[in-house]
Structures are given as C-alpha cells and as structure tokens.
C-alpha cells in the first residue's frame, strides 16, 4: 500500500539526524503504485527528491516539495547457471541485507561492499564502492520509472555510464527516473578481491579465506574507522577523493613526500582526501555541534542537534582549507538539499 503524508519530519530519514520537515512525504511498495501516483495525483507534480535511507544527504532547510521513498521489497532469482546467478532486488531492500544473503549463499562479488548504509535503489545512482569494488562491477540491469512519462525502462550496465561515485542518474537523467529494481550478477565460483592492503592484514586473524571471512574482515575494518550513524549522525565519506594529473601529484610530493595517491590511469592519480584533511590539522576536530571523526577525517559528524547549515558551513571551511594548503578542490560526495 502506498501512503502520502503532509508536513512530515525527516529526522528519522537521514543518517545525519537533521530535523527538517518535508511538505509531503510519499512511500510506495509497487511499481503500479508509483506509476498511478505520478499519473493521477497533482501533488506528484511539485519539486521532488527520491530518498532511500538518507545516508548520503544533508538537508539545510525544510524541503518545500515531495520526498518520494521507495519501499519495493523482494529478492528473486531470475537466472542461474553453474557459473553465476542473477538476483533481482526491490529498490527498498536494505543494501547490507542483500550482501549478507549473498555471503551466506557463497555468491561472490558483493562481499567487499559489506555494511555500506543505504538501500538497493541508491546503489546504481551513486555507484557505491569500497575496498576495491564498486556496485558497477556486479550490476546487470536497473529498472526505473520515468517520472514524466511513467514508462518503465530497463538500463543495461553500460547504459548507466558508471564512474567513480557517479552514473547517468546523477547527470543527464538526474531527477528523471525512480529506480524500482536492480538486478545483480554474482559468481558461484567466487574469486576473492583482497588487494586492498587492510583486508589482507585483517584476514590474517582468520584461519580460512572465503566470502564470509572477507565480509567479517570488512565489517571489522569499517567498525573501527567509521562511526555508527545510530550513535553519531554522519553520512560516511563527506567528500570524494579527487582525481588529479600525475604531474600535479609529483609537484606536491616534493613538498609533501607522504601524500597518499593511487594511480587510476597513465596520466591521472586519485588522492586520499582523508589524508589531505588530516594534514590540515582537521582530523577529529570539534567545531561546536559538528566536527570531523577521530578515526577518519573524511567523515563529518553531528554531535547532537546540529543543523544542516552547521554541517554545510564546516564542509565549505574544510574545502577552503584544503585548497589553500594543497591547491586541490575536493568535491562533496554527499548531496546538499
Ligand atoms: N587517511 C588518512 N587520514 C584519514 C583518513 C584516511 O591519512 O583521516 C589515509 C589512510 O591512511 C589511507 C588512505 O587515506 O592511506 C585511504 O583511507 P581509507 O582506506 O580509509 O579510504 P578512503 O579513501 O578514505 C574510501 C571511500 C570509503 C570506503 C573506503 C574503503 C571515498 C570518498 N571513500 O575512503 O567510502 O569505505 O575508501 O574502500 O571514496 C563512503 O563512500 O561513504 C565511504 C566510507
């Protein structure tokens, strides 16, 4: 059943725990419901945002529009061979429940993405990633409803134009589609991806290496470095890791020999923003109601009753400080509304 609320508090719908109201809040559980709503209800015509668990968003004020929350559930095996399995999952399922299911079944591909907060529907939009794996590596197909025409469209992996924390849904199709289902391709003959240094070290504590121990290792690492949004409001990495010219990295290395960089192509490097922020003396710093996390400078935290403006202002100050010191612009990963 779908439901429409008016003047609805979003405090429990964003992991920063920011207390703002939406003019309308609409949740739906089936494709037919959202299609009918978009076609028939004038409320659906006003400004809108699609919100999953709200784990990547900061509201700086009340939202004078409609928040649409997909609650489409279900997990369906759509194809299975000796090599792989295709699983079609509702956009409203919790991401980590899906990863847990795959690990229990020994289906490989999702384990490095353990414990990422959020819902299935956000995984292709944001191309979530961690520990050397991105959602794009396992996404087969994305099913979505066109907001204007209510047509149901299936996007193949290559149609989604995936990039680092980016996709077509954040660019030319921004605000044009609502994801209802995502189909993932998992391997029944898993090859573990443990090249990310910290996983190898953590795995030494286990006496076997399989999908489930990789999941456990990653859960341990994440729990050590990232704050639990249930206890302290945050949205994971607040900034992206910038991609810069190798020449610029070489120049910076003269002055900052320990700069953390990863080669992404012949001419480009990715720089660890957490390191940049830490070098500015901003790791674990408290600025009243907001601050940066003590174990990972890339994460901004809400110590209690911060407003979205407090968070946004701190983010802008951090951007400026990093720019002044390194001449690098760090983009926000979190969506500001
Ligand atoms: N580092 C510091 N100081 C810090 C944080 C990091 O010096 O405060 C250094 C670390 O020592 C390490 C390097 O930076 O050498 C990278 O750190 P880490 O492995 O923690 O990863 P990250 O690049 O900071 C990215 C993702 C995370 C993801 C981890 C693991 C982005 C923006 N963030 O962080 O994603 O969990 O890699 O793969 O790409 C998220 O998107 O919400 C998120 C948490």
Per-10-residue mean pLDDT of the chain, 337 residues long, equals: 96 94 98 97 94 95 97 97 98 98 97 96 96 97 98 98 96 96 97 88 91 96 93 95 96 96 94 97 94 96 93 97 97 95
* Residue 274 CA, ligand 1 centroid: distance in Å: 6
Q: Residue 270: CB within 6 Å of ligand 1?
A: no
Residue nearest atom 40 of ligand 1, based on CA coordinates: 237
Token pair, residue 54, equals 């709200």
Q: What are phi and psi of 262, to 5 degrees?
A: -130, 135
Is 265 marked active-site? Answer: no
Distance of alpha carbon 259 from alpha carbon 241, whole angstroms:
13
In the numeric block, the tokens 């983010």 are attached to: 315
Contacts 24+ apart (CB under 8 A), 271-277: 271/241, 271/242, 271/243, 271/244, 271/328, 272/241, 273/237, 273/239, 273/240, 273/241, 273/242, 273/297, 273/298, 273/322, 273/330, 274/298, 276/322, 276/325, 276/326, 276/328, 276/330, 277/239, 277/318, 277/322
Write down the pLDDT at residue 303. 92
Nearest to 337 by CA among 300, 312, 305, 303: 312
Distance of alpha carbon 165 from alpha carbon 301, whole angstroms:
21
Task: Report domain extents, the chain.
Answer: 3-70, 75-187, 233-336
Is 55 marked active-site? Answer: no
Write down the pLDDT at residue 198. 86
* Residue 239 CA, ligand 1 centroid: distance in Å: 10
| Residues 276, 245 contacting (CB under 8 angstroms) | no
Q: Residue 117: CB within 6 Å of ligand 1?
A: no
Give the three-state DSSP class for 80: strand
Q: Residue 131: CB within 6 Å of ligand 1?
A: yes
Beta bridge partners of 4: 26
Cα end-to-end span (Å), the chain: 28
Is 163 marked active-site? Answer: no
What is the architecture, at CATH level 2, of domain 3-70?
Answer: 2-Layer Sandwich (3.30)
CA 119 to chain centre: 9
Host H or E run for residue 300: strand 296-302
Q: What CATH number should be reported for the domain whose range is 233-336? A: 3.90.78.10
Q: Residue 298: CB within 6 Å of ligand 1?
A: yes
What sign results for the dihedral spanned by CA atoms 126, 132, 136, 139? negative
Write down the pLDDT at residue 60. 96
Write down the pLDDT at residue 196. 83
Write down the pLDDT at residue 332. 96
Does the predicted model carry a pTM greater than 0.85?
A: yes
| Residues 82, 16 contacting (CB under 8 angstroms) | no
Give the three-state DSSP class for 303: coil
Write down the pLDDT at residue 304. 84
Nearest atom in ligand 1 to the alpha carbon of residue 260 is: 15
Nearest to 194 by CA among 174, 171, 210, 207: 210
Q: What CATH number should be reported for the domain whose range is 75-187? A: 3.30.465.10
């Amino acid at each position: 059943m779908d439901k429409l609320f008016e003047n609805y508090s979003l405090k429990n719908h964003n992991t920063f725990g920011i207390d703002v109201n939406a003019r309308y809040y609409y949740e739906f559980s089936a494709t037919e419901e959202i299609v009918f709503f978009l076609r028939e209800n004038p409320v659906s015509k006003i400004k809108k945002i699609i919100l999953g668990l709200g784990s990547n968003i900061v509201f700086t004020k009340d939202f004078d529009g409609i928040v649409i929350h997909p609650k489409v559930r279900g997990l369906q095996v759509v194809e299975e061979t000796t090599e792989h399995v295709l699983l079609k999952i509702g956009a409203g399922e919790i991401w980590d429940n899906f990863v847990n299911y795959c690990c229990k079944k020994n289906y490989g591909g999702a384990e490095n993405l353990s414990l990422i907060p959020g819902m299935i529907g956000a995984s292709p939009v944001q191309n979530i990633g961690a520990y050397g794996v991105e959602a794009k590596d396992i996404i087969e197909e994305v099913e979505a409803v066109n907001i204007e025409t209510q047509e149901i469209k299936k996007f193949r992996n290559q149609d989604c134009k995936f990039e680092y924390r980016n996709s077509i849904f954040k660019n030319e199709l921004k605000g044009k589609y609502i994801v209802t289902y995502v189909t993932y391709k998992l391997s029944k003959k898993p090859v573990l991806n443990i090249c990310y240094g910290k996983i190898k070290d953590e795995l030494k504590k286990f006496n076997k290496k399989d999908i489930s121990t990789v999941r456990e290792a990653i859960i341990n690492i994440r729990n050590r470095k990232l704050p639990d949004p249930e206890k302290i409001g945050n949205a994971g990495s607040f900034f992206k890791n910038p991609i810069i010219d190798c020449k610029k990295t070489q120049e910076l290395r003269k002055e900052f020999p320990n700069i953390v960089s990863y080669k992404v192509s012949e001419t480009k490097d990715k720089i660890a923003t957490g390191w940049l922020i830490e070098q500015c003396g901003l790791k674990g710093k408290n600025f009243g109601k907001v601050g940066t996390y003590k174990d990972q400078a890339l994460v901004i935290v809400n110590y209690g009753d911060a407003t979205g403006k407090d968070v946004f202002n701190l983010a802008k100050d951090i951007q400026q400080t990093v720019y002044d010191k390194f001449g690098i612009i760090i983009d926000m990963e979190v969506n500001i509304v």
